[in-house]
Structure 1
């Protein structure tokens, strides 16, 4: 800042005294104004110009002091406090992460111990099963050696079975697999067993469980083979979800309103009129959309485990008929069976451009049965694109299981000698597990068109789970996991 000197006016000419003026200071001053003040600015006498100049000088000191204060403030301005705060926050985050890592490490260390025990149990079960089969083959060979005369025809079955055993043993994977990510977090780490093999020999051996899941008053369940999870409902119309870490979670269903009686009730099987709207009729897994389907009498919902979200599937029911059951075929084919005499089934596409409004069916089979008293109580599909229909009639207890193609063209009917099918479950490519009305359990082979008594019971159902496992509904309070 530069100090500007006041400008001094030239002295008035004594010859012309009328040109002089009086000092314009705020206090009256009769002295002549000699200069123009740079503080006011006014025309002042010399005395008051000096006074005003001192005011400016004093002001410069005040401004200088203010500069000094700002300089001091500037000297104190740095990022150290911010750095300290950031480090404190970082250190706190580090301690939390380390604590989480330690907790996660202890959890999965214990999990590995449990997986080891389980894997040892499964290996022992498998080894005993294979030893038994090898013992049978050894006995057959010993018998032939004892006779002494051996034909190639006698050796061929033994060689074939031995070759199948060799293929099975060579395909075994027996290990504990732990998967990690760069960030150690419980949600980003998973530990699980891999125990898979190519099954060749007939699948009717005694099932031995490697894990039991507690379920209270289970009424029905369905599994996701690819995600290794289970959705099940209980007798109180509550829904539960078991994730791949076997956490059993109660999930809240959306409110289901009771509607007036269906106008077409005269066309329904007699027992359907007593079903409440909030009762779950069917549960299915949709592989293409990775959602579970929950079927009520008048509503369809999907449940996405990843987001824990329910979505109502908005479609118009044909003639206001109530739903009975559904099944999925291939990527997006949704078959819906209505609970009506004469068998009415519709084919829909789901998902449809990620829209829950499915619009109109692709096809409808109205009056699929010749007998107007027949209706479909259950339906399911296998990976061979076959659709199984359980057909009941109002005139008798007789039931039948029909296998149809994707156009619902009849492929074959499955009959039990002196018995009738009560429920069925698809298994892999060409087998169906069947529970009969008399309480017997069978395994039907599409390939051989034969059925055999099952070595185990599945009163509440059977579902595939993971690579080689199945979930057996062994009772109302227990689900059993076995290698199949």
Structure 2
């Protein structure tokens, strides 16, 4: 016979079952108490430094990159100051050399005139005065404070294992590309380098051209930015060039022997370049103090004999490779350790390459490289924020 109504489950229970039900509920409460104690202990022992460790390293890397840029700018200004001072000294030295030559001629001739003596006195007086002025020379240095904007670093709470493409901004402008332009592009965090036939163009964050220079060195296979050099690296079909973003000057790297290149990327210390051939190799070059060959990573370590690398990108001590199979016309992506080339994972999308399309990959903020392909006629410009992990 039922004695009472349980208000929780709306069941009529006899006294015995009610007591049993009550004991069961209390046991649930005890279990919850135990679990909350366990969770509380986990919170107490939580290592905050471990949680923020990777993010902290990214902030430190940003700081180091800024230090590098400041040091490079400082060295440029020091060289400019040295050049100005040396020009003044050189000018007086040339004038003094001319007087010494005149004295030698007069000594050899063993005759002179009052006019020669007066001229020498005048010249010596001028040089003496100029050297005194030079010794007291000072250069006016005008500096401006480095203004930091809080938007330089954006910190958001995200799950490192999620790739939320919906968080990307909407397309706000399209950069129309004329026929004859090469497809590669590179970003230094502030500017975008694109080939707009016949020029190499540097775009700002609003997709406006801020400077450009004529490109007359043939096909461009790939581009990347080197923080260490503070320059863009442009990969030609057989040559490699450094582009100064301030002057847009182009300098061919003469320490690299000609190869048939396809793709390039940079770490803080190494330039990685993939060869455009079946059973591709990855060539490694040290960046500083001069770009020099280190080693070649060959088949079968980097790919199979019927495969070739079509894209390579460095991020966070790893290399992401886009690899095409010659006969199957299939594309796959793999992540490898940059030092050992040990494979971390391989992703085989359902893609068959039936057209001549350039495949590349880039790194998103969640540390997952993402595939992308570029149209030959136009580039949809999203925000130019850095996407390094």
TM-score range, shorter chain: 0.5 to 0.7
Whole-angstrom distance in 2 between the partners of 1:195 and 1:335: 28
| Structure 2: segments with no counterpart, 5+ residues | 1-24, 43-50, 52-140, 354-358
Please tell me whether Structure 1 or Structure 2 has the larger radius of gyration of its CA atoms: 1
Whole-angstrom distance in 2 between the partners of 1:417 and 1:321: 30
2:157 to 196, 199, 202: 199
- Structure 1 partner of 2:232: 292
- Structure 2 partner of 1:260: none
- Structure 2 partner of 1:376: 309
Whole-angstrom distance in 1 between the partners of 2:164 and 2:151: 24
- Structure 2 partner of 1:215: 175
Within the alignment, does 1:251 sit opposite 2:212 as a pair? yes
- Structure 2 partner of 1:405: 337
Shift of 1:214: 4.0
- What do the CA deviations read for 1:128-186 (whole angstroms, capped 9, x no partner)? xxxxxxxxxxxxxxxxxxxx999969x99xx99xxxxxx9xxxxxxxxxxxxxx9799x
Contact 1:387 1:408 in 2 (8 A): no
Contact 2:205 2:384 in 1 (8 A): no
Write out aligned runs for 1:102-113 (5 A): none
Whole-angstrom distance in 2 between the partners of 1:239 and 1:223: 13
2:369 to 413, 432, 442: 432
| Structure 1: segments with no counterpart, 5+ residues | 1-147, 161-166, 168-181, 257-277, 436-458, 462-472
Whole-angstrom distance in 1 between the partners of 2:246 and 2:340: 33
Whole-angstrom distance in 1 between the partners of 2:175 and 2:332: 31
- What do the CA deviations read for 1:407-451 (whole angstroms, capped 9, x no partner)? 34322342235446953222246311124xxxxxxxxxxxxxxxx
- Structure 1 partner of 2:263: 325
Contact 2:199 2:215 in 1 (8 A): no
Shift of 1:189: 7.8
Contact 1:400 1:413 in 2 (8 A): no
SS of the equivalent of 2:164 reads coil
Whole-angstrom distance in 2 between the partners of 1:194 and 1:287: 17
Contact 2:272 2:284 in 1 (8 A): yes
Whole-angstrom distance in 1 between the partners of 2:341 and 2:143: 53
Whole-angstrom distance in 2 between the partners of 1:370 and 1:210: 37
Write out aligned runs for 1:256-295 (5 A): 256=217, 278-295=218-235
Whole-angstrom distance in 2 between the partners of 1:375 and 1:399: 10
Whole-angstrom distance in 1 between the partners of 2:303 and 2:172: 45
SS of the equivalent of 1:395 reads coil
SS of the equivalent of 1:281 reads strand
- Structure 1 partner of 2:193: 231
1:481 to 342, 364, 383: 383
Whole-angstrom distance in 2 between the partners of 1:479 and 1:243: 11
Whole-angstrom distance in 2 between the partners of 1:205 and 1:285: 24
- Structure 1 partner of 2:110: none
Whole-angstrom distance in 2 between the partners of 1:195 and 1:367: 41
- What do the CA deviations read for 1:190-224 (whole angstroms, capped 9, x no partner)? 97845722332444152353783441227332211
CA spacing shift, 1:405–1:246, aligned 2, 3 Å: same
What is the number of equivalent residue pairs in this alignment?
Answer: 249
TM score, norm. by length of structure 1: 0.43
Within the alignment, does 1:367 sit opposite 2:305 as a pair? no
